[in-house]
Structure 1
Amino acid sequence: MLRTKKALVNIVVALFGQILGLFVSFIARIYFVKYLGAEYLGLNGLFTNIISILSLVELGIGPAIVYSLYRPLAENDIQKVKSLMKLYKKAYTLIGIIIFIVGLLVIPILPLFVTNKANIIGLEPIFVLFVINASISYFFSYKRNLIIADQYRYVATIYRYSFFIFLNVLQIFILFLTKNYLIFLIMMILCTLLENIFVARRADRMYPFLKKKNALKLDKGTILEIKRNTSALIFHKIGGVVINSTDNILISINLGVIWVGLYSNYLLIITALHTMIGQIFTAVTATVGNLVAVESKKKSLFMFQVIYLANFWIYGLCLIGLFLLINPFMNFWLGKQMLISMDVVSFILINFYIQGMRKTVLTFREASGLYWNDRYKPLFEVTVNLIVSIILVPHYGLPGIFIGTIVSTMTICFWLEPYVLYKHGFHSPLKPYFLKYIYYLIVLLVAGVITHEVTSLIAEESVISFIFIALISLSLPNVIFLIFFYRTKEFQYWFNLFKSVFKKRMQKK
Structure 2
Amino acid sequence: MSRTRTQNTIRNFSSGLIKQILNIILPFIIRTIVIYYLGAEYQGLSGLFTSILQMLSLAELGFSTAVVFALYKPISEKNTDLICALVNYLNKVYKIVGIVVLGVGLALLPFLGQLITGYVPENINIYILYLIYLFNTVISYWLFAYKSALLTAMQREDIVSNIQTVTTVSIRVIQIIFLMLFKNYYVYILVMPIGTIANNIFLQIYSHKLFPQIIPNGKVPNSIRENLNKQIKALLISKIADTARNSLDNIIISSFIGLSAVAVYDNYLYIYSGIRGFFLVLVSAMQASVGNSLVEESVDKNYKDLNKFTFFIMFFTGWCTVCLFCLYQPFMQIWMSGNEKMLLSFSGMSLFCIYFYIINMNNTVNLYLHGNGFYWQCRWWYILEAVMNLCLNILLGYIWKINGILIATIITLFAFNFMPRTAVIFRDYFKRDKKEFLLNHFVYFIVTVAIAVITAMFISLIPTGGLIKFVIKSIAVAFISAILFIIAYRKNQYFAGLTSILKHKFKL
Question: What is the TM-score when the length of structure 2 is the normalising length?
Answer: 0.95
Amino acid paired to 2:71:
L
CA distance in 2 between partners of 1:26 and 1:194 (Å) = 22
Alignment of 1:22-61 (within 5 A): 22-61=24-63
Residues 40/427 of structure 1: CA separation in 2 closer, same or farther (3 Å cut): same
Alignment of 1:112-127 (within 5 A): 112-120=114-122, 121-127=124-130
| Contact 1:384–1:407, Cα closer than 8 Å, also in 2 | no
Whether 2:425 is the aligned partner of 1:402: answer: no
Amino acid paired to 2:133:
F
Amino acid paired to 2:74:
P
Amino acid paired to 1:310:
F
Secondary structure of 1:335's counterpart equals coil
Q: Which runs of 5+ in 1 are unaligned?
A: none
Residues 363/130 of structure 1: CA separation in 2 closer, same or farther (3 Å cut): same
Alignment correspondent of 2:269: 267
What whole-Å deviation, never above 9, does each CA across 1:139-166 have from its counterpart, x for those lacking one? Answer: 2121111111111111110111211111
The aligned length equals 502
CA distance in 1 between partners of 2:353 and 2:488 (Å) = 24
Q: CA deviation at 1:132?
A: 0.6
Q: CA deviation at 1:501?
A: 5.4
| Contact 2:325–2:452, Cα closer than 8 Å, also in 1 | no
Out of 146-155 and 20-29, give the one that drifted further.
20-29
CA distance in 1 between partners of 2:458 and 2:313 (Å) = 25
Alignment of 1:12-411 (within 5 A): 12-120=14-122, 121-139=124-142, 140-211=144-215, 215-337=217-339, 338-411=342-415
Amino acid paired to 1:127:
Y
CA distance in 2 between partners of 1:244 and 1:262 (Å) = 16
Question: What is the TM-score when the length of structure 1 is the normalising length?
Answer: 0.95
| Contact 1:451–1:472, Cα closer than 8 Å, also in 2 | no
Residues 13/395 of structure 1: CA separation in 2 closer, same or farther (3 Å cut): same
Secondary structure of 2:379's counterpart equals coil
| Contact 1:381–1:408, Cα closer than 8 Å, also in 2 | yes
What whole-Å deviation, never above 9, does each CA across 1:34-91 have from its counterpart, x for those lacking one? Answer: 2221111101000000000001111111100010011111222111111111111101
CA distance in 2 between partners of 1:320 and 1:71 (Å) = 40
Alignment of 1:441-452 (within 5 A): 441-452=445-456
CA distance in 2 between partners of 1:102 and 1:389 (Å) = 24
Q: CA deviation at 1:411?
A: 2.5
Choose from 469, 475, 478 the match for 1:471: 475
Whether 2:7 is the aligned partner of 1:5: answer: yes
Q: CA deviation at 1:309?
A: 0.8
Out of 350-359 and 47-56, give the one that drifted further.
350-359
What whole-Å deviation, never above 9, does each CA across 1:243-297 have from its counterpart, x for those lacking one? Answer: 1110000100000111101111111111111112111111101111111111111
CA distance in 1 between partners of 2:87 and 2:299 (Å) = 29
Out of 49-58 and 436-445, give the one that drifted further.
436-445
CA distance in 2 between partners of 1:77 and 1:483 (Å) = 50
Amino acid paired to 1:246:
L
Secondary structure of 1:209's counterpart equals coil
Pairwise CA RMSD of aligned residues? 1.6
| Contact 1:370–1:425, Cα closer than 8 Å, also in 2 | no
Q: CA deviation at 1:388?
A: 2.0
What whole-Å deviation, never above 9, does each CA across 1:175-222 have from its counterpart, x for those lacking one? Answer: 1222222221210001101111011111111111134x7x33222221
What whole-Å deviation, never above 9, does each CA across 1:325-384 have from its counterpart, x for those lacking one? Answer: 111111222312222221221112211211111111112111111111111112211222
CA distance in 2 between partners of 1:128 and 1:85 (Å) = 30
Alignment correspondent of 2:488: 484
CA distance in 1 between partners of 2:464 and 2:23 (Å) = 31
| Contact 1:137–1:196, Cα closer than 8 Å, also in 2 | yes
> Percent same amino acid among aligned pairs?
31
| Contact 1:243–1:382, Cα closer than 8 Å, also in 2 | yes
Q: Which runs of 5+ in 2 are unaligned?
A: none
